[in-house]
Amino acid sequence: MAASDGGGQGGAERRIFDRKRVSVTVGMRTEHGFWNGFAENISEGGIFIATHAPFDMGEEVELTFALARGPKGDRKRYAVTCEVCWIRPDSGGGLPPGMGLKFRDLDPTATAEIQRYIDKGALDVLFMDVDD
């Protein structure tokens, strides 16, 4: 697994989209297998996955996750192809290690839904069964 400083403390200056803090279980599939992980933040352009074993830079990842979409707690499930665009190694500096995934094929409707979700402003905590 490769490392890059792209997600370091200078990452905030390079961000294009607003982010929202989340604690969401995600499913990730690559050509090498299937893993579960946790997302720490999301934007309409991508998602940060906390992990001590990030995938390689540029690697394609099939990602599944669900976000709250209504006051009754119903969830909208998303499946999207992503690319690893930066990696934050475990440096002990207080920031969690992990990888930034850029959404590659998110349709405009899903992009708008995620943006509305971010605009809501509340922390979303969800642990879901990613195999259903």
pLDDT tens-digit readout, 46-93? 999 999 999 999 999 999 999 877 666 678 899 999 999 999 998 877
pLDDT for the residue numbered 67 = 85
pLDDT at 56: 94
The answer, yes or no, to whether residue 22 has pLDDT greater than 90, is no
* pLDDT of the residue at 15: 54
Rounded mean pLDDT, 87-108? 90
Portion of the chain with pLDDT greater than 70, in percent: 74
Region 95-109 average pLDDT = 93
Asked if pLDDT for residue 107 goes beyond 60, the answer is yes
The pTM (predicted TM-score) of the whole model is 0.77
How far is residue 28's CA from residue 3's CA, in Å, rounded to a whole number?
19
